[in-house]
Amino acid sequence: MTPSPEPTSGDRVNGKLRLAAIGDLHVGENHPHPYRELFARISREADVLALCGDLTNFGKTTEAEILADDLRACTIPVVGVLGNHDYECGQPEEVTRILHEAGLRLLDGEAVEIGGVGFAGAKGFIGGFGRHMLSAFGEPAIKAFVQASVDENLKLESGLRMLKTERTVVVLHYAPIEETVAGEPEAIFPYLGSARLGETIDRFEAVSCVVHGHAHRGAHRGATLRGTPVYNVAKPVLNRDLGIEYALIEV
């Protein structure tokens, strides 16, 4: 875990860090500078920006380069995770490299401290919630599927263990609780997140909040079993339900 430069957007509100969060940007090839103006505005209103996956539409390098160009308008630290769309073309490492060179700190089991607040994250994975959560029983393919979910949880846990801050933000793509996917068809709940993520989060008392995306028709806010606030900041949720372009959260 390495420290990051202090936020530079101005005086904090009540001594708290102002976190702007948004997911599911789905940057395509044919829309130059789709977020440059927004990122510049966020830099004036927040201390840190968190991007919650599905940053590109198909995981193409051309899409990543368009987003990277817009990210250079940010004058505040930017952290984030990849989403399932960013893996579609089979080159997530190249997407990561392009975005990293533009200033985005990808959290794939890593951690970073910014202005006294810790940030840990991972993409997460699917698997379901409660008694409907898939278990590693039966065919090898099912066991491999569940192991992929466990591996993502281990990444998140590794990042959280690196942090010694009193306040921590978890950044995910997939949902860690069922509450924030409510509004989606119940039949696809298992494909929108995993309760394993929520269980991991609840083992760390320093976690102040969680931000995630992916569930475009889900609910904006919920909480883990321990009561930690969870925010679904998928762009369609913010636009449709709240009439805003990004969430602004005090940490």
* 3-state secondary structure (DSSP) of residue 229: strand
Residue 7, token pair as written in the block = 């936020």
More confident residue, 137 or 39: 39
**Rounded to 5 degrees, what angle do the CA atoms 208, 112, 158 make?**
80
| Nearest partner of 119 among 55, 58, 209, 45, judged by Cα | 209
pTM strictly above 0.95: no
Render pLDDT for 172-191 as a digit per residue (tens, 0 to 9): 999 999 999 999 999 999 99
Render pLDDT for 59-84 as a digit per residue (tens, 0 to 9): 999 999 999 999 999 999 999 999 99
Strands 117-121 and 207-212: unpaired
d(CA 123, CA 53): 7
Q: Which domains does the chain have, with CATH numbers?
A: 17-250 (3.60.21.10)
Q: Phi first, then psi: what are they for 172, rounded to 5°?
A: -135, 170
Strands 167-171 and 207-212: parallel
Render pLDDT for 214-224 as a digit per residue (tens, 0 to 9): 999 999 999 99
More confident residue, 7 or 23: 23
Confidence of residue 5 (pLDDT cuts 50, 70, 90): low
